[in-house]
Amino acid sequence: MSRTRTIIFISFCLLFLFSETGTSQEEKEATSSSSDTRKTVLWTGEVLSVYRNKGKAKIKIGRNSYFSERSEEEIKGILSEKSNLPLFRKPKMEEIGAFQVENIEVEFGKVGKLTKPISIELRGSFSIAEGKPAKLISVGLLIGAYGEETFYQDPSRFDATDMVRNRLVKNILHPKDGKEMVLVHTGYESNGRILYEHMGYFLYGQGSDPGDDSYNPKFGVPDRSSLEEISSFYIDKYEVTNKEYNKFLKETGTLPPPHWENGNFPRGKEYHPVTNLTYREAEAYSKWAGKKIPSEWQWEKAARGTGLVWRLLKDESYEFISQPQDYPFGNEFDSALCNTRESGSRGTISVFELPSKGQSPYGAIGMCGNVAEWTSSPYIPYPGHRPNSGRFGKHLKVIRGGSYSGTKEEAKAHARDFGGIPNLLNDRKAGLRLITEVKN
């Protein structure tokens, strides 16, 4: 009996052990397959001064940034909780050391009619990572903080009828090309909330120069009949770079642009936007990436916002008020924010060199100058507009955004150019950024 009991006991233990091991493995696999988060940098600030391993850094608080809509106490609490912050080197965000926070000062300013935090000044000391030279610690480095964030959500998940607009995440990383994309939502945003989410109305063009092809006759008196309705979509935060386009070439065996010497993009310009592409090449890249070339109105909305506000009147009708802006960052041109002829660069610059201060209302960067960008729209007059001159036709495609060789006027968000002569297969005129559409 003793031997029988021993055998039963051993069998039971083995069964329990294998059962636990199997369950644990299944749980790990389930957790791994369901995981859609990634370690990412939540916010960054720039090092302004360095002196004997001590220095000062500044965090700007922009619209929709990590610290926006937080009180001074919340901000100081967050920064005090983990005072040893990673130190990064641009443009690849390489971590090279740490910044030990010793003092926190929150600066306030006017935001509209309200007084809110606009920047944070941090003072502290630097330490360099093992194996890194101390000379790397310099002005221009970034400090930041890590966190776990959703790195991708399949747009098909947004098709459910119970999905409301406020639940769409503002940033995704596309699974094919790995590019960060920002949300261009329906409605408009106020104090962190998306209002009138069922209205995708958008005011396009300009209303001051009837002789220009961007003239919209209804621009000054917008109403429902003259406004374009645009559903939510994601757009690349940055233009497609030489490095990203080169990956497409390698994977598909496509021939490189003829200005690439020996089939290689210009040395040192891997993060510059790819340019001198034909529309058909841009189209092939978009199909490979599983995305789309934006229409000109999708592009324009992403660059300048809705262009209007609307409010409910006493009779429950809506009043629309035109409030457009000429550039992604406002109505006043700034050569430091827009790589045009006025900036004096005489060529393209890295997409990561463009300051975030020049971003569009939705967070897209570089939608002014650098390189022009293809859209999928035919180059035809706007409804109700009959210009006296100009070449139009459905065989041509609209190009937007201006370029380093163009003027500040050509880089306005509503400015239109075209490509396709002699045809869309041979006219090398622009670069690109792509979109992914989602259903409302």
Pairwise CA distance, residues 79 & 364, whole Å: 27
- Average pLDDT, stretch 312-340? 86
- Average pLDDT, stretch 124-144? 91
107-121, 243-257, 295-309, 360-374: range with lowest mean pLDDT: 107-121
Asked if the structure places residue 433 within a domain, the reply is yes
The angle at the Cα of 97, spanning 92 to 102, to the nearest 5 degrees, equals 125
Shared domain check, 347 and 302: yes
- Calculate the CA dihedral of residues 359, 365, 366, 368 and round it to 10 degrees: -30
Output the pLDDT for position 168. 78
Domain ranges, residue 365: 171-437
Q: Which of 181, 247, 239 is nearest to 435 (CA)?
A: 181
Asked if the structure places residue 29 within a domain, the reply is no
Q: How far is CA 386 from the centre of its chain?
A: 35
Give tens-digit pLDDT for 17-68. Answer: 444 444 434 344 333 333 445 566 778 899 999 988 899 999 998 766 788 7
Q: What is the DSSP string of 253-265?
A: TPPPPTTSGGG-P
Final residue of a structural domain among 117, 150, 183: 150
Is there a contact between 427 and 419 (Cβ–Cβ < 8 Å)? Answer: yes
Final residue of a structural domain among 102, 118, 150: 150
Shared domain check, 189 and 138: no
Shared domain check, 313 and 212: yes
Q: Which CATH number does the domain housing residue 109 bear?
A: 2.40.10
Final residue of a structural domain among 150, 181, 216: 150
Does residue 15 have a pLDDT over 50?
no
Asked if the structure places residue 163 within a domain, the reply is no
Q: What is the DSSP string of 107-176?
A: EEEEETTEEEEEEEEEEEEEEEPTTS-GGG--TT-EEEEEEEEE----GGGGGSTT--GGGS-SEEE-TT
Is there a contact between 23 and 124 (Cβ–Cβ < 8 Å)? Answer: no
Pairwise CA distance, residues 276 & 258, whole Å: 9
Q: Which of 186, 222, 188 is nearest to 383 (CA)?
A: 222
Structural domain count, the chain: 2
pTM over 0.75? The answer is no
Pairwise CA distance, residues 102 & 84, whole Å: 10
DSSP 101: E
